[in-house]
Structures are given as structure tokens and as C-alpha cells.
A and B are shown apart, each in its own frame.
Chain A
Amino acid sequence: MKQKVAKKPNIFFENLEQGQSAFFTETISAISIDKFAEISGDVSAIHVDEQAAMLRGFSARVVHGAYLNAKLSRLIGTEMPGHNSLLLNLALSFKVPVLVGDEVTFRVDVAEVHESVGCASLKLTVLNAKHKTVCEGKALVKVERSAPDG
């Protein structure tokens, strides 16, 4: 299957500034989590079996933490900073379980720009519909300069 490349302007390192951000909102569907379980191989009962999730005290299946990670990766790799970036590290804390059917907003903020090494520290946040932080973390990305270093 051919993939479509987002036609967003590429941000070069020189155009990167602290405070820039990007976000998108998604209602997480059962189909998405089924597909993610299949791709990742994480078919833990709380992710794929509603009855099992309910027995564990959840009102619906629990979304994989790595699914949230993947969506943040999409935001980093296609929007902020976008196609000119390379993810070097990423760490997340999961504060509140996200359930199938929840509406969540994924957000990336440029926290700091590191001129010396052409990198940026990013603040990562996932908020639920009540604006409560369900997941937060940070990442470090290398961003290409429009002209070679030096």
C-alpha cells in the first residue's frame, strides 16, 4: 500500500523556537486498538477483551500506552518539528488509563532549543476531553539545518 506523505512545510533548525507547538485530537476507536494489538503483538486481555477489562475495573478496553507513544511520534515526525527531525530519545509517564472511545488531544511543545548540537527538547502531553493530563513526557530530536553546520 502506498503511503501518503503529509505536505507540511519542513521546519529547519534555524526556524525552531521555544514555545512552538502542534496538536491534534482523536477519538480512539476500537478498530485502531485492534490494529495496534495486531501490529505490536500486545494482545494483553485488557487491550483486546472488553470483559477482561471490566473485570479489572475499567469501563472499556484500555488503550496501549505505546499507542499514545506512536501518535506523539506522528506529531513529532510530521508536524513539530516535522520531516527534518530525527527522534533521539523519548520518555513517557502514563498518569490515567485511556479507554477505547475516549477523545484525547496529543500535544508537542518545543521546550528548549540546543544550538550547539542542533537539537530540541520537546514537552509531550496527552490530555483527555476534560483537559486532564493522562500522559506526559519529553523527547529529544535532532533537526536538520537548512545549511550544513559550520
Chain B
Amino acid sequence: MNYEILDRIKKIFQIYFDEESLEVRAETTAHDIEEWDSLAQIGLVLSMEKEFNLRFVPADIERLKNIGEMVELIETKSS
């Protein structure tokens, strides 16, 4: 697990949901955060594209099961 990427994702979530104490771990899913709905999903994905300076395709996003897989995806796309 790339913890540097995980930390940056965690910060994105904390800013987006305006909740400094929000915990985001590798196993976190949309079920764990009540406000994480389809609209939030769009905002989060766009924030991550901006933060990591990369572009996803819809299939990238659809197959993700949790934040850990997002970390792996970003790591793969950045390398």
C-alpha cells in the first residue's frame, strides 16, 4: 500500500466533506460514509484527477471496490 497516495486521498475526502476528522482507510467504501452519494462521487473523482494530475476512464472507476484499489489505480497510472 502506498501510504503517501492514501494520505493525499484522505485529505481530498476531508476537504470535500468538510470534516477534518474523517477517517479514510484502504478498506473504506461508499457504504462507510453516509454523504458519499453519486454527486459526491463525481466531485471526488474530479478532485483526485486534479490532485494527481491524471485522467481516469469510466471503466477505471466502475471496477473499484474500495479506497485501497483507488490507491493502486493511481499508483499504476502515475508510473
Contacts and interface: CB of A to CB of B under 8 A. Distances in A.
Real binding pair: yes
Interface of A: 88, 114-119, 140, 142, 149-150
B49 A116 contact: yes
Contacts of B39: 88
Main secondary structure of the interface of A (DSSP, over half): mixed
Interface residues of B, number: 14
B49 A118 contact: no
B45 A117 contact: yes
15 contacts: A115-B56, A115-B57, A116-B56, A116-B57, A116-B58, A116-B60, A117-B42, A117-B46, A117-B61, A118-B58, A140-B42, A140-B46, A142-B42, A150-B59, A150-B62
Interface of B: 39, 41-42, 45-46, 49, 55-62
Contacts, number: 35
A88 B60 CA distance: 22
A116 B42 CA distance: 9
A114 B61 CA distance: 13
B5 to A, nearest CB: 17
A85 B55 CA distance: 21
Contacts of B41: 117
A120 to B, nearest CB: 11
Contacts of A140: 42, 46
A63 B64 CA distance: 48
B75 to A, nearest CB: 17
